Chains A and B, each alone.
Chain A
Amino acid sequence: MRAMTSFRYIGAKRRAKEHPRFVSGRGRFVADIALPGMKHVALVASPHASARIVSIKIEKALAAPGVLYVLTGEEFCANTDSLAIGVDAPKVTRFALAKDVVRYAGEWVAAVVADSRALAEDAAERIEVEYEPLPHVIDPEAALKADAPLVHPAHGSNLLYHRTFVWGPVEEAFANAEHKIAFRAVWGRSATVPIETFGVAAQWDAGTGILDIWASIQMPKFPDQVARALRFPGNAVRVHHDVDVGGSYGVKRGLKHAVLVGYLTKTLGVPVRFIEDRLENLRGGDMQGPDRFFDMQLAFDTDGAIRAMKIRAVDDVGAYAGRSPFQLGKPVTAICGPYAIGAIEYEPTSVMTNKTPQEAVRGFGQSPTNFAIERAIDRVARHLGMDSIEVRKRNFIRKDQFPYTIPSGSTYDSGDYHAVLDKTLAAIDYGSLVRARDEVRRSGRLAGIGIASCLEPSGGNSAFEVLMNPKNENTTWMDSCLVRVDLSGAITGVINNSSAGQGHESLVSTVLGEILERDPETIRVVRADSLTALPSNSPVGSRMAIMLGGAAAGAAKTIKETLTAIAAHNFECSPEDLEYHDGSVNVKGASSKKFSWDQLVEIAHRKFHKLPPGLEPGLQAKFVWEVPTGGALPTPEGRIQIYPCYAFEAHVVLVEIDPDTGKPMIRRYVCGHDCGVMINPDIVHGMTYGGIAHGIGAALYEKFAYTEDGQLASGTFMDYLIPSAMEVPALAIVDHCTPSPLTTFGQKGSGEAGYLGAPAAIANAVNDALDPLGASIDALPISHLAIWSAIGARKGAAST
């Protein structure tokens, strides 16, 4: 589809449709779902990282006030099936409750159902579990050794996935390059940690045989997977998507929660709700993110041209697989970043340890990869004594090279990386920024400038599944929209997923208004439940502006064609002789000879005798869209088009460090951003600001730290540090627009924006600040202590 050039509603300032209910306290989150007679769940969790369950005594709990039931893994695993395993590892089964053994501290062992959550918690304390501790492994490199304790002995090793991809003449480039560097970059275990924990409420209706589910989720194919695990046909599970989700950014998968609560309501015949408390969420909610180190090697010439890159990425997914190994696969689609690097070796390794399982996090593995690449660019610059801006520009894919196919087989749709970086540098007044940094340095403190230029693959496709699992042939990742015009002429868009703040109701109403030339304020957007919904793959992978926007536009165009066909039939002319304007259809050159919107709607709904033959009465249209460029299987070398569109962001940041405490302070922050045509600029900017804040957390504060005996050491918000308004500075965004040639309006995705470059930019700034001391830190999060220690070590070295 070709990009339109001017728009009526797209790109204009427009208040989000969702806001009024939230500011008035009328949001409807899962914890607000109160069903008559509803019971509540509390959990018993394993205190051991690895242990055999010797016995579970539940009698005292069952006798406690208000207790209805206690469920253990023995019963649960006998009556449900394993959650889906993404990679080809059939023995790595996973259930909501552990049976026989526990594989991480925090794993759920028993569930208590009682009249209130408080009573359920009281009773949970009376359950006595006897454990026999077993050897455990926390470090991923130790887990790969032959003598390591096995997390899943039936699987035969702790290795979940390993492959070495070679795309292009890598060894030749390394042999011929003038310079080489090698280093390790470490991405710490953090996650998006929404302020709302997971929750699910469910109600089994024995009369209809339907299990109704309300859940705080952002999960592709959630209803299908819940039904399968519960051994139900798909049409026995009805997931209600009209639940407001209190933040997700990838992690709210919630499958084990829903299967557990679904089983309980079916078994007990009463509605059941489970809302995680914060410890259950952080420790047992299975939402920790990538935990990864990169062994990076680069081959380059004196002029700064990078000829080849080798990336070995070892990722610790914790105790179970799920979709987490795929987070090593998605970055294949942008494995060389925005740079024209001709030869790449990529060796992803997914390993299990006795930690909380990993789940999808904003960017699905792309932000850690971008961090490693951007640290590499700065290290190349430092090695050569070149300005890192020059190294970036020397290697950027040029505007005239698009569409550009990278060695791993994905084609970038469009971009103008030089222009965006230049715009960003101009916006922050780079010359004065350098002077400001040097001024701080002269005053005896440390200061550094960090730059990162990164890609945000968007349009969320799932082709990493077929790349990483030969038994998987999932080549479509469609999304859909249904548009209805009722007898009153009012328009309703029906979408098929829940939202977690992305503004999908605003998106769809704007797109429908744009195509149908009707005021978006008058357009309602509702959410189908999973039994009435069209196919959707949920708002993952920065896809909804592209996929839901495209589907809504497609359906609206069909409505427009239908209205035109009705007018043509009644004028006894060809549709080509007519023009559509503000919802009415008139004969070209004769604006008075027209059918109004109301007249056309009335014909469609009530006057069959005036409808063209073959046209269905009523007025509605659906559109199901496959991801543009999607649908193919990988080549034998593992070349594949994964995502269709590629947004670009350039971050420039000034960080000042107190040398006495190691405390970093972000003094200036500008992000240049090109995600093509923005449908709602406020929403795009908002997600980008939030992504930057989240990236600040990943870079400096947030870590799921584990003790040597496998205990999570950051199970509260006093230890897992989310940046507040005091740590996040005033942020500035500079827009640029290179439309995508692949999408309806030229839009690209933006849901992961900011987060994809902020950790890299901040790490580069801290390292620039430490550079005069000869120190560097390549492991995130860069804590105050790490900085203080690095400063102290260099000072110590200098004084001896």
Chain B
Amino acid sequence: MNLYAEARAGALVVRVDEERLDAAIAIRFKDRMREICVQPAPRIVLDMSRIEFLDSSGLGAVVAVMKALSPNRRLELAGLTPNVEKVFRLTRMDSVFPIHASVEAMLSEGVRDAG
């Protein structure tokens, strides 16, 4: 399970360096994210741009990560590839998360908002 976290513009950006977020690694993903989310950033952005395949176990794990956060923090998603986006759309879970085209797009939005 390869996750890389870095603080960028007040957000904790976590890059998932895996091609699949599926039943085989869903539990490890949840556990690792729980450790990473100990860092007190108000926004956590999950960079999913490397993930080519997400199944309902992977989706459930992402939801579980969000539910484990305290109410004043939020989980945002960035860089959904077409197959991953489809799973969020079909399950209507795209209505639950702020979704950004990419981490770079998310960061430039932040700059615009601030200006």
The answer to whether A and B interact is no
- Which residues of A are at the interface with B, using a C-beta cutoff of 8 A? none
